[in-house]
Every structure is written in structure tokens, then in C-alpha cells.
Structure 1
């Protein structure tokens, strides 16, 4: 889960983007970055690994002038948390910059096809391929929105995207599939964000994009279509919650929010991990453990220790019952804060 903010209007973009990221840092704190289109039509980017405060420290000494920009706070899925893998990402020419929340499941095959056509990549992310795909589509002068609509059907997975091009100042393009993206409506300015909370200081009029939709925003207008190009008419909602209530998603308290969002949380957790295979079935893909989980290593595990906090600890109790029933391996759940100060017996045959 990552956080996205986009702005186009008359004000300096950087402070608005950074304020929005501060509201969204709960969505990811591996790295953060901003891209601003300046008056010379140059996309200027600053991004740093770690918490948002690392980026804020850099921007205290660096000026990013411009009235249009995009920003991102990352929870890493493809590629380790570092400056290079942080968003925004660009294409080969530097014309395109974009931010992405989600997982592109078929990014490996798309990246290899692009490499065969001469594209070069600097990051380990699935996101970077999107900038290069859009670069191809805009090479002949095709408008950014049209190019984006051509690329989206080629993607398999989930995404919320916000894109800008130095060829089209005053324009941001956003799209979503299975990942939330909000359009904020202002006076002579408009916004994108992953969450209402990022925009409440600037506007309370919002439009929620639906799956398979694409939005084009300028300072004076918002146009929403399906990826196929059909115009979508949708009334804006006026948010009357305060910031604290907005963070609760409109629920009266966080407990109810957490309970009722469990189906979405499970869906997000499985994105990119259960994928279709050539036989028409499903394949489990766990890149986080693939590097070390050889048959020999797994066969040598004689005990499992699960570390967790809060409600995750209760989930680990359920996991113990399942693992001991199916794998017949002893499992010990620990509250992580207690494990830190304990002196546990952990051997080479124990998986923690």
C-alpha cells in the first residue's frame, strides 16, 4: 500500500504535495518522492529512502518551483527501499513522470519486451515499465490521456496511477483498477490523492474514480472516462467529516473500520501472490521467500516462531493452529515487544 498525491493549479505545488504525503505516510514509509514541472517544462524530481522527514530535510535546501506536480510515499513490493526505487519514475527521455500504488503482475514480461526494443531501466520496480510503455505511445505526439488508455489494457494486476508529461503542462492523468484514487475539486485547482485525508485542507468536494476509469484534470476542469473512452458523469460528494473522522474512513471508530475493511485488506495482501497460470488454474508466488525457501531448507525446519503485535498476534494464534495441523511442525507465537527482551532458544532448524 502506497500513498499518492497530485496537484495542478496556481499555487506552488511542492508544499501542497508534501502536506498531502504527511497525511498519507501511514500508507508507506520506506521512501518518498516528489516531481514538479517547472516553468521551463523540465520535470524536477527529489526522492529519498526512509521516512518522509528525510525528503523534507532535502527540500528545506532545494527549491522545486512549479504549479503542477505528483508525489508518492512507498511501501516496497518490488525492489528494496532506496533512493533509486523510490517514486516518481520516468521514461528514457525524461518526458514522462508517474507514481503508482499497486502491483503489476506481468511486469517481468513487459520489461523484457521493452528491453528488446532498446529501453533501459534504472530501478528494480514494476512501476518503471509504465513510464516506458507510455513513452512509446506518446512518441508520435499522441496525447498523454490517449496514450495511457492504450497502455492500461496491457497491464495485469492492480494500480492507481497519476502521470504527467512535460509536453502537456497543466495536465495530470489518473487511472485506477482495484486500488483507490480520489479526485479533489478546488477553485481554479484540482487534485488527485489516495485518500480523502490528504485533501481536506484544500477542498471538501471529491469524486471517487471507479475501476477501469481514467481522469484528466487541469486547473479548470475534470474529465472522467472509461478506459474505452466512454464519458462518465458522476456527481461530486461534499465531505463534512473532520480530519480525524476522515482518517477513520467515515466509520465512528477505528475498530469498526478495521473489522469491515478486512475483505479489502485480504484482497490487497494477495495481489501479485496468487496469479493465473498457463493451465488455467492459479499459482502461488511468494517472491519474499523464494530466494531462501529451497526444498532442502524447508525440509530442515523443525520449529516456527511467529513474532507479532496487536491484532496480528491474534492472527498468529490462528496461524499456529493451521500450521501445526497441516505441517505438523511446532509453532510458538510471541508478542514482538516481549521477544525483544527475552532469551529464547533459537536453533538452526528454527524459522522465525
Structure 2
């Protein structure tokens, strides 16, 4: 279960903290709802009690202790309005640990729509509450689809319950459709959707790229397509993969002199050291940590092939290149905190003259 929010470290100055969520916040009578409770320790503690409070409209079905204490058993108490599932934590719990509890309950039949409230709280041996959190679940007594039927059917109780079956089946699909645009956002799309989005954008994803690198590449895909075959496009693509700025050196001579004896014709290169349609890529990359020299050599070869594949995709088809990789010293590797956030695609970095950026986008 992925908790839908995370607390700041030790938010209330207590030695423990509680996160309490459910798998669905909208349910129908007869459906199961699962409560997930995470207990986080910020200091060594013992003699605690974790209490899960369930409304009477929910029937407790099952519960699971944390994997660290599989034999831990709770007690169950009830009154007219609530059920109390209490976990005794008399053992010593070390600091900076997390323990996850689960409880499953079935929604009872209701005569009208309701919002049910559940709570998780942790208390010490003196009964002092150290932290607590509540969740709310909306329960419909009748299907919302009734409003699409003639009035004579809208008063039929059986029809209201019958349509709930179809509404519960289609509700997850409705949620997906409501958030359909998120599937086309490289920052929000699920990881398993990245290859599909890459094919849609005509981008080749390398299996050796991390998920973050793949999302960055897709985010910049349209800008890279627009500037394919330019120096800017090549440098940007390499930066997305390596995190480093590449240096592109074109083999153009600056000593051209046309004398009286010069003869021009096909396949004539002007100037000394002039190699047409050729450039060199100089890239400084961080060192690769490996257990053995053979493994390091293999990983370096994989990285080199990935970089060459990027250059092959971004360079003009008629050009050739030389790749020169230099290993960065460990002291020169920037930490994530030192890396400035990237501007949106098509925008120059902060503090840079836009005209200078675009003037440097000539074809290689």
C-alpha cells in the first residue's frame, strides 16, 4: 500500500507518529475497505497501545499485524457506535522504524448516504494520546445511476441496489477517465506506461536509463525533435543521460587562404586540418563504481554504447564523429542539491541571453 501522504520528521515533537489511510474513500454496501496504519518511531519507546476505531456501519473482517511481530494479537471491544481494535505494544521499539498494520471491514447496508469516520491513535501506558489521525469514507445507499432513469424507477429500492453492482464495476474506470490527461504527462504517468508514451512520441528508451532519466527524456522529447541535427539538441540529449554538459568541436579550419594558384572543384577541402562533416564530442562523466575491474569495464562499455546511440540519433545523418570520454574526479561530481531545476522545454536557462541560445543552434 502506498500511503497517500507523508509526514515531516517528528511533526509534533512526539516519540511516535501515526499515518492512517484507506484503499478506497468511496464504497458501496457489501464492499470491503482496507485500513492501513503506519506507526513510525522517532525515539526508543515501549508500552504503547495502538487503537483502531471503526464505525458500527463497518463489520470487521480481518486484520494483520506488522511483519516484524507476526504473532501479535489484538483485542476487540464494541459499543453501540464503534468497534475498537487494540494492539498492545509492550515490547521495546527502536528509533526510526516503521510498523504497518492492516484491518479489513465490510460496509453494512445503509438506509441513506453516509460519511463514515475511522481513527487510529497511539497512546502510552498512562493513556496519554501521543498521536492520532482520522479517515473518512463516503458510502452511498443507492446508486447514482438512478438519476438517469425515469422517475418511476428512481423510487425503487431494489433497482437502486441492483445498479450499485454496475456502478462499483465501472467506478474505477470512471476514475481513470477523469485523470486520463495524467497518462500523457511524463512526470505523472505510471512507470509501466513510459514505453507506450515513448512510442507515441517516437522516442527510443534505453533499458539502462533510470526511470527519472526516461521521464526527463520524454519531457524534452518535442524540443529534441524540433532541434534534431543541431548542436543544442545533441548537447541537451547527452545532458539528460549523463547530467553533464558535452563539448562539441567541429573540424573546421580557420586558416583558409585563397591564392592565385588555388584550384577549386569537387571534393576539395579548404584550409589545413579541415575535415568536412566531422565533429568531436568531449564528455566528462562520473566514475563507475564496481566490485571487480571486469565488471567496471563492462559497465563502462554499456555506458559508452548508450552515449553513442544518443549521438547517432541526434546528429545529422551525413556526419561522422569521434567520442572522447573523460572521467570526472569525485570532488567535481555535483550532488542533486547543487543541480538547478531545468527550465521548461524551449526556454533558455535562467540568467542566459535567449539570443545567444538560439544563435548556437546551427546544424552541425
Mark yes or no: TM-score above 0.5.
no
TM (norm. structure 1) is: 0.19
Q: Which has the larger radius of gyration?
A: 2
